[in-house]
Amino acid sequence: MDFLILFLFYLVFMLVSVVMVCICSKTHRLKGLVQGGAQICSCIIPECIQRAVRKLLHYLFHTRNHAFIILHLVLQGTVYTEYTWEIFGYCQELEFSLYYLLLPYLLLIICLIFFTLTCLTNPGTITKENELLFLQVYEFDEVMFPKNARCSTCDLRKPARSKHCSVCNWCVHRFDHHCVWVNTCIGAWNTRYFLIYLLTLTASAAIMAIISTMFLVCLVTMSDLYQETYIDDLGHSQAVDTAFLIQYLFLTFPRIVFLLGFVTVLSFLLGGYLCFALYLAATNQTTNEWYKGDWAWCQLCPVVVRPPSAEPQIYQNIHSHGLWSNLREIFLPAVPYYERKKK
- Concerning whether 165 is annotated as a catalytic residue, the answer is no
Other beta carbons within 10 angstroms of residue 105's beta carbon come to: 13
Q: How far is residue 100 from each of residues 97, 178, 315, measured CA to CA in Å?
A: 6, 35, 47
Please identify which of the residues 24, 91, 111, 179 carries the catalytic annotation: 179
Name the residues annotated as catalytic: 179
